[in-house]
Structure 1
Amino acid sequence: MSESKLPRPTDAELAILRVLWGRGPSTVREVHEALQDGSGYTTVLKLMQIMTEKGLVVRDESQRAHVYSSRVTQQKTQHQLVVDLVDRAFGGSPAQLAMQALSAKKTSPEELAELRRLLDSLEQEVEP
Structure 2
Amino acid sequence: MAAINNLKPTESELEILQILWEKGNCTVRDVHEILEKNKDAGYTTTLKLMQIMLEKGLVARDASSKTHIYRALVNQEKTQQHLVDKMIDNVFNGSAARMVMQALGNHTASKEEIDSIKKYLDGLSNQ
Question: TM-score scaled by structure 2?
Answer: 0.91
Match of 1:77 in 2: 79
Alignment of 1:21-40 (within 5 A): 21-36=21-36, 37-40=39-42
* Contact preservation (8 Å) 2:32, 2:43: yes
* Alpha-carbon separation, structure 2, partners of 1:122 and 1:2: 31
**1-structure distance, mates of 2:94, 2:67:** 44
CA contact (8 A) 1:6 1:56 kept: no
Matched pairs, number: 125
1:11 has 2:11 as partner: yes
State the identity %. 48
Greater CA deviation, 79-88 or 5-14? 5-14
Residues 4-63 of structure 1 deviation map (CA, whole Å, 9 limit, x = unaligned): 224221111111111111111101111111111221111100000001111111111222
In structure 2, the residue matched to 1:60 is 62
The alpha carbon displacement at 1:2 in A equals 4.4
Q: In structure 2, what is the Cα distance between the partners aligned to 1:38 and 1:96?
A: 34
| Letter matched to residue 7 of structure 1 | L
Whole-angstrom distance in 2 between the partners of 1:3 and 1:79:
14
Q: Displaced runs of 4+ in structure 1, greater than 4 A?
A: none
Could you tell me which residue of structure 2 aligns to residue 97 of structure 1? 99
Shift of the alpha carbon at 1:106?
A: 1.0
Unaligned runs of 5+ in 2: none
The separation in 2 between residues aligned to 1:70 and 1:85, in whole angstroms, is 22
Aligned-residue Cα RMSD (Å) equals: 1.3
CA distance in 1, matches of 2:59, 2:106: 32
Structure 1 residue runs without a partner (length 5+)? none
Task: Give the TM-score of the pair, scaled to structure 1.
Answer: 0.91
Q: AA paired with 2:111?
A: P
Alpha-carbon distance in structure 2 between the residues aligned to 1:31 and 1:86: 30
Secondary structure of 1:69's aligned partner: strand
Aligned partner of residue 39 in structure 1, secondary structure: coil
Matched with 2:123 is: 121
